[in-house]
């Protein structure tokens, strides 16, 4: 019996490795926390290449990116209630649609299965950068959430 339990634990550990393909990070402010996988460029064309224009992307690697608001506020000029959500992006060459979805815990790219739980979407312009950002980065600057990777940056205003 003990051997059977040890074997099952071993199989479970093998099926769900602790390491992930991309490092993960959490960025926080007083009222927002974002947890996401941070893939590297690795010489690839990112937007319009790896991440196709017009297709929804999980804004990170591995699990869908999770964004938590500690209190009610405004995201991209639209009201958002306190709580945990997932963050998706639909990029084009000139603008991104940022999507906040009400299903905070699911793996990967199954956005289509969860679209009915979208809470809001906002469209923001793309800023083309002169220098390459090698690793996907989400950060906060002033009252904006910044997403940047490769030679692309977007900024979403947030307020509470």
Mean of pLDDT over the chain: 87
What mean pLDDT is predicted for residues 3-12? 45
pLDDT of residue 129: 97
Q: C-alpha distances in angstroms, 48 versus 53, 54, 95?
A: 5, 9, 12
Strand (E) positions, 38-126?
65-69, 73-75, 78-80, 83-91, 95-101, 118-125
Mapping DSSP to helix (H, G, I), strand (E, B) and coil, where does residue 47 land?
strand
pLDDT of residue 3: 47
Task: Encode pLDDT of 35-87 as tens digits.
Answer: 999 999 999 999 999 999 999 999 999 888 999 999 999 999 999 999 999 99
What is the torsion angle, in degrees rounded to the nearest 10, for the CA atoms of residue 60, residue 38, residue 98 and residue 33?
110
pLDDT of residue 7: 44
Residue 108 in this model has a pLDDT that exceeds 80? no
The domain ranges of the chain are: 21-159
Largest CA distance in the chain: 62
Residue 91 in this model has a pLDDT that exceeds 60? yes
Question: Lowest-confidence range among 70-84, 102-116, 140-154?
Answer: 102-116
pLDDT of residue 62: 86
């Amino acid at each position: 019996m003990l051997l059977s339990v040890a074997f099952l634990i071993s199989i479970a550990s093998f099926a769900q490795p602790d390491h992930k393909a991309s490092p993960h990070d959490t960025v926080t402010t007083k009222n927002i926390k974002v947890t996401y996988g941070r893939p590297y460029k690795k010489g690839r064309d990112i937007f319009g290449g790896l991440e196709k224009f017009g297709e929804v992307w999980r804004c990170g690697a591995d699990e869908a990116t999770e964004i938590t608001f500690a209190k009610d506020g405004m995201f991209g000029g639209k009201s958002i209630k306190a709580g945990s959500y997932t963050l998706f992006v639909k990029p084009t060459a000139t603008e991104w649609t940022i999507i906040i979805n009400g299903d905070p815990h699911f793996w990967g790219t199954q956005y289509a299965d969860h679209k009915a739980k979208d809470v809001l979407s906002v469209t923001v312009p793309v800023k083309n950068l002169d220098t390459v950002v090698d690793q996907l980065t989400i950060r906060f600057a002033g009252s904006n959430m910044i997403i940047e990777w490769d030679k692309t940056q977007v900024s979403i205003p947030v307020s509470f």
